[in-house]
Every structure is written in structure tokens, then in C-alpha cells.
Structure 1
């Protein structure tokens, strides 16, 4: 069994919308109270109060209706979030990551989670628990939940991009296959992550897959250009520091949040489409193990303003998480391996090859040629994870399957071109 989360929109009246935002603000107040409590304890040189059980005892001692309409279950979900964040930072600092910081920043709105047995889900209607002597709080979803009601384990109320959402988490069984069609753990494929090609997969028997992310990169480029244009247009009307904004400025800020939220949703959907293509191809090839090259070691390198922006928009950690999430549901194991040197090594003769100026890499020792991302993926497939594992010889790709991610993006189609000018094509 694995856990899956789906985000569902809400159809609300003005009163319901105000009540939802009130719950999120109350959750932010719980977070602020915990920060204030630990600040007092630091001044007295006492041990910080971070354990979930100790925080729950403090919450019970505060009495009912302390945080307006937020019930105790929702307040405890905020305490759980704080405790998990604190111990995660402590674990990273103990491992030597001095950049890890403990939670000490206040938040105006904080997501609230309710667990199984505290809410009622009936079709498109959802009833959230309310505080003592509070009126029942029924909400209407804008679509059906994609999971059976008996599998739903929690619901989370959150605000993103100026809109309110409900995230439904359910317990889903791993996909079962007919006899003779299940993925085989001995069949292994290497996955190379990139900006232009989000996933380059080299599998056994010379099979390979290329998932293009040019539409995603174009969406990020165009969104950045639109954002700069909007900022230039309202620069003269911006309020001075320390002054409250006008109605026009508040409308601009509201519109900006909506546009940013829509942009993030489009990119997230395209990332899921790309990962879904990889998992579907792996199931078709009966691949049971994916060795993913981890390129996060290069994220801290300074490579110039423009390239640093591309790397920041890459979101490599999210790409790995989405791929792992979908692979687990399909019964495919995912292992992270070191990818250092895979893009400059020939998978046939294992000699070093200089970086090519284009997408085709040619070895001067054995005259082997191929797509450089796929050759890197073939090298990744030969590497074992840190704890050991299956190692197989490199197989250069012979049959390449092409897929594109982000066909839902505005203008993405057969005629869409990358925004970067090409020398071999008239502009």
C-alpha cells in the first residue's frame, strides 16, 4: 500500500471563503504561539519545547476556543508540522549541514489537516470539524475525489495562488499485473535528468526514451517576460515603503498571485506528465529497477546569472520525487546513484570523451556515436547505489522513443518553437 494525494478545488460562498481563511489564520496563530513560547524558553536558557506530545499538552492546558474556530485536531496538525520541521533541521545539522535552520519564522496562513474519522466525505460534499459550540462546516468540491471514500485517510485545507484547495490523501494498493507481465527487478534502466530533456532513459536490449521539456522551459521563459512587463507597468504606481497600497495596487497584487498560481499548476502538471511517460514506458519494457543519476551536487555552483536561473527553474528534487512516487505505485524500484562523469564517458570503451557542442556525442577511440543524454543514461544504468545492488553492462541505445511533456501549455503544439533563437532557422 502507498499513499497518494490529489488536490481538489472548492466552490464557496463569501461566508464560507471567509471562514476557511479564518481557519488558516488561526493555524498561523498556533504556529506563532509555539515560536513565542520557545523564544521565552531560550531567554530563560530552558530546553526548547519541540516534542509533539509536549506541545499537545500545552495546547490542552490553553483551554477550548483559544484559537477561534479552529478545533483541537486541526491545531494538533500544526503542532505535528512544527515538530517534524524542527527534528528534520536537527537531523540535517547533526549530519554536518550548517545551512539548515530551525523553524523561527511566522506565517500568516498555514495549512490545516484533519485525519480519518474527524471529517465526513459524501460525494462532492465535505464536512470539516469545528470548534466547540461551532456551526457544522460543509464545503462543496468542484469535482469528484479520484479515490473511494473508504480509502481516504486525511484532508488538508490550504491556500495557494489566492485560491483555496483541499488535498485528499488516500491509501492506494500497488498495481497488480497479470502473470508474465509484471516488471522484472533484474531488468534495469538508467535515467539521466536534464533541463531540455527532463528524462533520458536507457534500458536493456537497446531501448531508450527521451522526454522533451522544451515546452516547460518556454513556459518559464514567457512567464518571466510577462512578470517583468507587469512590474515595469506598475512601478510608478507602487506605494512607498511604510504606506498602505491603494485599491488599484491591491487588485494588481491579487492578479499577480492568481497568475503565479496558474503558472505553478501548469508546470506541476507538465512534470507529472513527464514522469508518467517514463513509468508507462518502463512498464511496457517490464523494467523493474530505475537507476536515477542525482545531479543535485551541481546546484550550488555559480555559473552566471542566466544559467543559475535555468538551474533554479529545473526543480530537480521535485522531478525525482514525482518519478519515485509514480514508480512505487507501479511496483518499480528507484535508486539514486552518483552521475559524476557519466556525460563524458563512452559506454562502450569506457574512455573519456570531450563534451560535444551539440546533442550528439562521438567517441574518438571506438567511433561510437549517439545522443549524449542517452549515453549518459546508459552509463548510469551500470552504477550501483550507495548500499550496493545490481550492476549490468552498458548497452548503447539503438531504438529511441520520443515523448513531449507540457502539451497543455498555451501554444504548445507542432508549431511551437523554443524561445532561444536558432542559427539554422530564420527568425
Structure 2
């Protein structure tokens, strides 16, 4: 979670962006040499503390103690790695050791101290030790070595004067610079900024990563709601899993026997697998940040001062079977929370965690407990209330946050009319989600039982159309909203009953 500086200056937050590098062959060797040297520093600290444990001495875990040992070793001990880069590895080791010690003192017996060697360790350089010149960055190296300039794959998203550190890392054999900058908190005009008294509830889910509702936050005192669809993210998980299984089955016969080195074809398969895994993670990270940005923009437009988010720690620790556990793991609740907290803090909005137990099975109009529906429609037989299941959970979360804050309308959740609902979609950049061509991985998913053989000419070669094919001009990303175009998307007949939103 980004930190906020406490001073008389305007408040700022620290934001980090990952930028790729365009390096030549020689530059790649030098950059990977820095990462390997970082791994050597890490291994040296592990070996030093191992010797001290064998002698019965206290391990060296403090940052200053480790820096004194590094100074005694001298400059150039770890190849081209400068003292600044080596100290960043020592700080990472010290922070990991101290974090494990705090967790163990708190009673967490699963916390483990850093004892495993790592071949490549990221190296961080702080402000004043590197130089940013347009689309190039000069990284510090050991004394007597030639300067190392690297070219960025895209311009920095922050001004050069706001950059505070850069971190050299790799993912899937691709080199990146994680640029951390000091970004000021958004200053809103008078009367248009977030109101601390306005609270909106946010319900996290798999179909809808974010479902938010602000009681009486819309026009004319109506409830304002936001639904961010995450079906493209779920499709990306399923298609990537199907592709990984197909690739594994195809390469199973080329797998080396135990104790034997793999062939060139096997190594090429492993490199390709790592590249696809990295691309998969980058796509999902971008989609989650886009979804969080949509929530923050909506909250600013509604002048929301506090976002109450349901605490899902009780749900995540439950064993629900192989398939559901896989879905929960792909859900990545921690990434969603971090992305939302990051965007909200920059906009001047406070994020508060609220107990979400029973929020999706409680009627927001009469507070009656209702069996959790299987679909997206919530229906209360007691008061005839009908609404979207995720927005019902968001409404109850907002009510709990207002009641805990002592608001006068903490128990009043919804109005009698449907809310003003905004629909957004996360992952428009994913293949097959917008105007882009049909995702070729869809053919790896088998057709459900009972589904007839497709005759649509869009499907080439009579392949499967499961999931559905995005048509040009009507699919997500085409600029046209699909909300309300299907029969099940239409608002149900009111007949005098309050309705939260259409399902």
C-alpha cells in the first residue's frame, strides 16, 4: 500500500510503474550480471549467518551491521554491482528477516526466515545514484567499469523530477525497470472534492470484481451504483489454463528422464512457458488496475469520501474443493485491494475494511435473512424486494460502515426507486474481448454437453464457439454498451416493490 508523507508540504503518495527495457545483447549480459551479482550478495549473507549459527553466534540481520560487513569486503567484490545496489539487497534481506520475526512473535508458526538461495535478485537504485535522460536511464556500476545506459521501451509515466528510485528486475527472461515516483494527491476544486460524510460500499466478487453502491449518492437523492464486469478476466484464466494443459500434454514425451539434462527443444518449451506465464500475469494486472481506476473515478464523480470494502479473510481461508479453490486463487483479492487502495489514496479517498459476513444474504430493505441466490438476482419473499445480488452486498456493507461511524442514516440503506447504475468492463485489452480478433485459445475448450454443432460462418472450420464469439461492433470495447439489450438485462417489473437495480 502506498505511503503518505507527513509534513507541511502537500500530501503525496508513492506510485510504481513497470517499464520494459530495449537492450542490446551486450547490455542484456551486463544487466543480468547485475541481477546475478545481487543473488551472490544474498547467498553470501545466507552463508555468513549459517557459519555464525554453527558457531553459536547471533546472526547478522540488521541493515547497518550488514552494511559494515559489505564495506569490509570492498568495492567490486560482486562484479559490476555497485555498493548502492548491494545495499539494496541487504535491505531486502533485513526487511524479510524482521517481517518473519514479527509474524512469529505474533504467533504465526508458518513464518519462515530467509534461508533459500536465489539466482537472480532484483537490485534497487535510489535518487541521486542514477540519471534519467529522456528515454534513457544510466544505472550505477562498480568503480572502474564502463557506464551502463539502457533505453526504455516507453516514456516514463512520471516527470523526471518526481522519480525517487528504480528497481532492476526480470520476469520471464524479460528485463524491466520498476520506477517509483512521488505523486501529489489530487487537489479538487472547492465544493467538488470527496465528502467525508459520503460512504459507498464495495463488494468484491469474481463475476464483478467491484460492485459499489452509494446510498442517496446519485441525482435527485437516488442511490448511485457501479458494476465492473470481470468476465473477461475469468475467461483469460480459463483459456490460459486450457492452453497450459494442451502444451504440457504435447511436450510430455519430450520431458527428460530424472537425473538427465533436457534437450534444446525442452529448454525452448520451458522458455516459451515462462514467457506465456509472464504475459498472462501482465494482462491480468493491467485489467485489475483498470477496474480499480474505474471505481476511483466513479467515487470522485459521486464525491464519495469513504469506500467501505468487505473483508474476505474468512472466505479465503475456507477449503471449498479443488475447483472453487482454484477460482478463489485466481480471484487475487489482495491485488484487487491493493489496486483500489492505491487509486483511492491518490484521489483523497479513504478505504475502510468492513465485516462482510451475511451481506449478500440479508435484505437491505427489511433486514431479513434470505438464502443466497445462485444467480445474480436477489429476491426477498418477505417484503418483495428485488435487486442485483452484488449491489445488495454493497448496500449492506455501506450500511455497516455508516452505522459504525455513527451516521444518522446508518440503518437506512436503499431508496424506493432503482439506483443510477454505471456499467464498466475490465480487461478490454484482452484478446477476444473487444474489436480484436477471436482468441485462438477458445478452440481448446470443449463444447458443453448438449450444445449443437455450430453453423455460424464466423467460426472457422466448424470449431467450438464456447464461450461466445464477440461480434464486431457489438462486443466489449466497441464503444456501444450492451446493458439492457438482452431480455434478462432488462429491469424487472416493479409492481410497487423496491428494486435495487436490474440483474
Query: Is the contact between residue 335 and residue 385 of structure 1 (CA under 8 Å) also seen in structure 2?
Result: no
Deviates more, 1:57-66 or 1:112-121: 57-66
2:19 equivalent to 1:19: no
Deviates more, 1:313-322 or 1:353-362: 353-362
TM-score, structure 2 as length reference: 0.81
**One of 112, 120, 128 as aligned partner of 1:117:** 128
Deviates more, 1:236-245 or 1:205-214: 236-245
**One of 255, 263, 270 as aligned partner of 1:246:** 263
Deviation at 1:46, TM superposition (A): 2.2
Q: Aligned residue for 1:261? A: 278
Q: Aligned residue for 1:395? A: 413
Work out which structure has the larger RCO, using CA pairs closer than 8 Å and 6 or more positions apart in sequence.
Answer: 1
**One of 254, 257, 270 as aligned partner of 1:237:** 254
Q: Aligned residue for 1:63? A: 74
Number of residue pairs matched by the alignment = 426
Deviations 1:103-145 (A, max 9, x none): 1111111110000000000101110111011111111111111
Q: Aligned residue for 2:427? A: 406
Deviation at 1:395, TM superposition (A): 2.3
1:284, 1:425 → 2: CA distance? 44
Deviates more, 1:364-373 or 1:219-228: 364-373
For residue 354 of structure 1, give the secondary structure of its aligned residue in structure 2: coil
2:23 equivalent to 1:7: no
2:325 equivalent to 1:300: no
Q: Aligned residue for 2:214? A: 203
Give the superposed CA RMSD: 2.1
Q: Aligned residue for 1:150? A: 161
Deviates more, 1:316-325 or 1:240-249: 240-249
**One of 87, 98, 114 as aligned partner of 1:87:** 98
> Which structure's CA Rg is the greater one?
2
Q: Aligned residue for 2:371? A: 354
2:70 equivalent to 1:52: no
2:283 equivalent to 1:283: no
Which contiguous aligned blocks of 4+ residues in structure 1 show a shift greater than 6 angstroms? 414-427
1:368, 1:109 → 2: CA distance? 57
1:220, 1:275 → 2: CA distance? 19
**One of 115, 125, 132 as aligned partner of 1:104:** 115
Query: Is the contact between residue 256 and residue 262 of structure 2 (CA under 8 Å) also seen in structure 1?
Result: yes
2:358, 2:449 → 1: CA distance? 30
Give ranges in structure 2 of 5+ residues lacking alignment: 1-11, 217-222, 453-465, 467-503
2:163, 2:130 → 1: CA distance? 10
**One of 39, 43, 51 as aligned partner of 1:32:** 43
2:329 equivalent to 1:318: no
Shift of the 248–421 alpha-carbon distance from structure 1 to 2, 3 Å rule, reads closer
Deviation at 1:45, TM superposition (A): 2.5
For residue 20 of structure 2, give the secondary structure of its aligned residue in structure 1: strand
2:189, 2:451 → 1: CA distance? 49
Query: Is the contact between residue 378 and residue 394 of structure 1 (CA under 8 Å) also seen in structure 2?
Result: no
Deviation at 1:421, TM superposition (A): 7.7
